[in-house]
A and B are shown apart, each in its own frame.
Chain A
Amino acid sequence: MDDIILKTEDVGVIYDRSIVALENVSLNVPTGKLTAILGPSGCGKTTLLKVIAGLIEPSSGTVKIRDKETIGPGPDRALVFQDFALLPWATVLQNVAFGLRAQGVSKREREKTSLTYIKEVGLSGFEDKYPHQLSGGMRQRTGLARALTVNSEILLMDEPFSAVDEQMRRKLQEDLLELLKIENKTVIFVTHSIEEAVYLADQVVILSGRPGSIAEIVYPEIDRLGEIDLIRRQPRYVELVDEIWSSLKSYVE
């Protein structure tokens, strides 16, 4: 049994007293692993991620980190936003340094740390650019660098690769796997893409349609050594994608 860093217990979310977005979500997230949250549009994926991030207070249930109940955002979690959430009037460097600034880290110190991560996500040379001067993929990387600076154990990402084309998406996915070899982190990410979930994740959580609840959990156990294109042709990979596709279809109906 893996070491569990985070778990949700019977989490339910009701918006505006009537819209049940999540119901009885109990989920274990193993330390140092990638967990993907997959499900039809509007099933509550973002809601679940925000509950875990401490941005939405669940109507029922709890979120526990190392068996301690958490309330609100904490230094142990950092979120990468689906819409990037970059300050339009701030440079890449200033944006990346925002998290550290909020923690009261000195200017010298936070710029040094930020530059390290800007380099790590491949944005060197763009430190002084403004968000409107960047492509979608570069904005995404800026948001990722900002989340990395605060050095939290758990990285939360909401559809991190949805704003880019297929080529860039594959590049970012590979970069993420590379990055995670350096940074020892637990990752929870939301995705629409079955391929992405199977390719990246150790654990794929499938949510059923509204109200969102866990329908199934799949453990891909893909052998990720070797050529990317070969991995995508592994029988196990193709089989899993098909399996998840057919179960997702049944929840959409």
Chain B
Amino acid sequence: MTGLDRFLDSFFNLRVAVEYLPKIIDGFWLTILLAFCIILSGLAAGLALAVLRSLGIRPVNWLIIFVVDLFRALPPLVIIVLLYFGLPAAGLSISGFASAWLSLALVLMAFSEEIFWAGITAVPRGQWEAARSTGLTFAATLGHVVLPQAVRMVVPPLTNRTIAITKGTALASVVAVPEILGAAQAGVSFSFNPTPLTLGALAYVVLFFPVVILGRWIETRFAWKR
């Protein structure tokens, strides 16, 4: 066998590829499900915290800032492992999927709270004053006047951050979630051939390339002209 043959046999072995493709495809859908759960709950929680922060209740804001900084400081893998192996010790068992979901959602919550908050504070004071002077309540002003502008302003950084954190779904492989990377690694250890990893990489490209393109499009689309 020449070096090239060996390389092709290792990474592009057709027999192995055919055998493990279904597992990788399962992993693909699982990754999408996990990503979807993370994005939905993470962004919702981040927005909720930013809104809560805008109420300006001092002790509440200190707590929010502490939580946000904590989850921005901790490596996501540490949070996943801590939840997965730590919670059972405290009598609460948690699935690998749930611990990955919860961990990455918390991280996305923390980062998106900061981004939403930056957007809210970037809306000029005059917008609040104009709205309140017409009798709109605080909540109505926030909902109809401030948040639409704030969210629009932060779509580009939010998209980038969301993509980055969503790629962290690969970390779930550590806690035995058969998402793309997990399925690929399992394939490698059963077949003694790294081809499943090639498939995994391809699956990530198929999954994230459109997302990155979408992000780029959103960025230009939402470039804010006043």
B is bound to A: no
> Which B residues lie at the A interface, using CB under 8 A?
none
| A interface residue numbers (CB < 8 A to B) | none
